[in-house]
Amino acid sequence: MKTAIVSSTIQALHEPKTGPGHREKTDLFPYLLMAPGVILVGFVTLYPLVFAIDYSFARTEVFKQLGSAGLSNYLRVFADPRFQTNFFNSLVFVLGSVALTWIFGLALALFLRRQTWGNAILRTIILVPWVTNQVVLALMWKWLLTGDFSPINSFLDLFGLPPFDPLISLSQALPTLTFVNAWRATGFALLLMLAGLAAIPVELEEAAEIDGATYFQKIRYIIIPLLKPISLSCIITLTISFFNIVVLPLDLTGGGPLNATEVISLRLYREAFQNYNIEIASTISVLLVALDLLLSWIYFRMIRSEASAR
C-alpha cells in the first residue's frame, strides 16, 4: 500500500501541470540561436524586395528617385516588344530545359539504378556539371561549338562538311542554350529519380513481369505514376531556378544573336548593372518575384492535392 502511494506521488510530480492556473514556460534559447540566421536571411531577402517594389513605382536617375511614376513602369515593360521577346525566350528556354532534364534524368536513373561500382562512377561523372561553375561550363561549350579551333568543326572538316556554329544562328542559338542547360542540370534530376526508384517496391515490378508486362509498360504504368511526387518536386524546383538563371546565357551567348537568347533574367541583369536603368530593373525584379511566388503556390497546391488523393 505504501509502495503504491509513493509511486503515485512520484508520477504526479513528473506529470506536466496542465491546470487552468498553470502557464507553461516557453524555452527561448532555441529562438535565440536561430535569431542571427533569421535576421540575416530577412535582411538579404526582404530589403532587396522592398527596395525593388519602391523603385518600380518611381522615376529614377541611377539610384536617385526623381518622383512617383505610378504604374507607368509596368505599362512600359509590358508594352516593350523586347520584353515580349524576352518572355517568349524564357518560356521556350525554361519549358524545354525542364522537359529535357526530366527525360534525361529518368532515363539515366533507370539505366544506373543498380548498385554497382561502375554505376557509382557514372553517377559521379553525370553529377559533375551540376556542381561545376556555370562560367566554366559556358566557356567549355563555347570552345566546343565556336570558331576554327572547335573540335566538332575539326571533325566535320575531315569529312568535308560545313562548320557547325549554332551560337550565331537565329534559329539554333536558343535550342542550343536550352540543351546545354538541360545537360548541366541532369545530375540534379538523376539524384531525385534514383531516390524515387529506390522507394518503389520490387514486388510491384516483379508482379507486372509475371502478368506479362513489357519493360516500357512497367515504366509507363508503374514507375512514372509512382515517381509523380518526386517528378513534381524536380519540375517545380528546376522551373523556378531556370527562370532566374543569368550566368549561363550571359557567358555562352550573351543574349545574342539579335536578342534571340536574351531571357528575362539576363535582361534584368543588363538593365541593372550595365544600363543602370534601376526603375525598369526593379519592375522586372518584382515581376520575376511574382512569377516565382505563383510557381511556388502551384507547387504546394499540386503537392497537397497529391497527398489528399492518397
Q: pLDDT tens for residues 182-218?
A: 999 999 999 999 998 888 888 888 888 888 888 888 8
pLDDT of residue 15: 52
pLDDT of residue 16: 53
Cα distances (angstroms) measured from residue 210 to each of 106, 199, 204, 219, 222? 24, 21, 10, 15, 14
Does the reported pTM lie above 0.85? no
Q: Tell me the pLDDT of the chain averaged across its residues.
A: 85
Q: Which of 292, 277, 109, 263 is nearest to 181 (CA)?
A: 263
- What angle (nearest 5°) sits at the alpha carbon of residue 277, between those of residues 272 and 281? 50
Identify which of 15-19, 202-206, 278-282 has the greatest average pLDDT: 278-282
**Structural contact between residues 253 and 261, judged by C-beta atoms closer than 8 angstroms:** yes
Of the candidate ranges 5-9, 55-59, 93-97, 277-281, the one whose mean pLDDT is the lowest: 5-9
**Structural contact between residues 174 and 86, judged by C-beta atoms closer than 8 angstroms:** no
Q: What percent of the chain has pLDDT over 90?
A: 35
Amino acid 106 reads L
Q: At what angle do helices 81-111 and 173-198 cross, to 10 degrees?
A: 40
Instruction: Reply yes or no on whether the pLDDT at 132 is more than 70.
Output: yes
**Structural contact between residues 69 and 154, judged by C-beta atoms closer than 8 angstroms:** no
Residue carrying the nine cell digits 502557464: 23
Top pLDDT among 291 and 303 is at 291
* Rg (alpha carbons) of the chain, rounded to whole number: 27
The 3-state DSSP class for residue 177 equals: helix
**Structural contact between residues 288 and 74, judged by C-beta atoms closer than 8 angstroms:** no
Residue carrying the nine cell digits 528556354: 93
Q: What is the mean pLDDT of residues 281-305?
A: 86
Q: At what angle do helices 117-131 and 173-198 cross, to 10 degrees?
A: 130
Rounded Cα distance, 209 and 205, in Å: 6
| Element containing residue 254 per DSSP (H, E) | none
Q: Where are the alpha helices (DSSP H) in 112-172?
A: 117-131, 134-145, 151-158
Q: In which band, very low, low, confident or very high, does the pLDDT at 229 lie, cut at 50, 70 and 90?
A: confident
Instruction: Reply yes or no on whether the pLDDT at 264 is more than 90.
Output: yes
Instruction: Reply yes or no on whether the pLDDT at 12 is more than 50.
Output: no
Q: In which band, very low, low, confident or very high, does the pLDDT at 20 lie, cut at 50, 70 and 90?
A: low
* The domain defined by 72-309 carries CATH number 1.10.3720.10: yes
**Structural contact between residues 201 and 223, judged by C-beta atoms closer than 8 angstroms:** no
